[in-house]
Amino acid sequence: MSESGFKPITPGQMQRLQVLWKQQASRDICPTKDMDRQARLDWASQQLGHLVTSFKELSNREAHKLIELLQGGLGISNSRPSRQRAHAMGNEGRRGRRTGVVTMADARDLAGIQQQLARLGWSQNRLESFLAASSSPLRGRTQIRTKADANRVFWALKNMANRMEGQRHG
């Protein structure tokens, strides 16, 4: 921090801002590469109430505010899961991981699946058809009951959505 109390943007914040901006711009109807930088700077200026000519000029607090605004617009949660929830999210449903404890799927697990369905443009009926297949993550079961079930379905859908978006942009 300098003597004046100004703490500059961190490299991590810079990278996060740029990634979030690209995600936001890809949602727009017709983003243009020529206007991308200027549109980003105009948006930042409008949000902060002063002229921004470069993200390198931003303070740590200004960058934090812009990141929160972009994440909110994209529906990305700013809160971190508890340690126990994060462990369950990362381990339950993985091949070869048997914990002996069954955790029921909760609303956040199902919301994550709904988010992936929206990315794919799938309806609930399409999801049920997918789950009914013998090659589905649930091996033909159509009900998502446990966190393990939710994780298997979430990651299958997320991988499909990522591949689909990669093909669209590639």
The pTM for the full model equals 0.48
89 vs 131, residue with greater confidence: 131
Q: Which of 92-96, 109-113, 161-165 has the lowest mean pLDDT?
A: 92-96
pLDDT above 90: residue 45: yes
CA 100 vs CA 81, 95, 137: distances in Å:
22, 14, 20
Residue type, 57: E
Mean pLDDT, the chain, rounded, equals 82
pLDDT above 60: residue 33: no
Residue 141 makes CB contacts below 8 A (sequence gap 6+) with: 131, 149
pLDDT above 60: residue 55: yes
Terminal-to-terminal C-alpha distance of the chain:
41
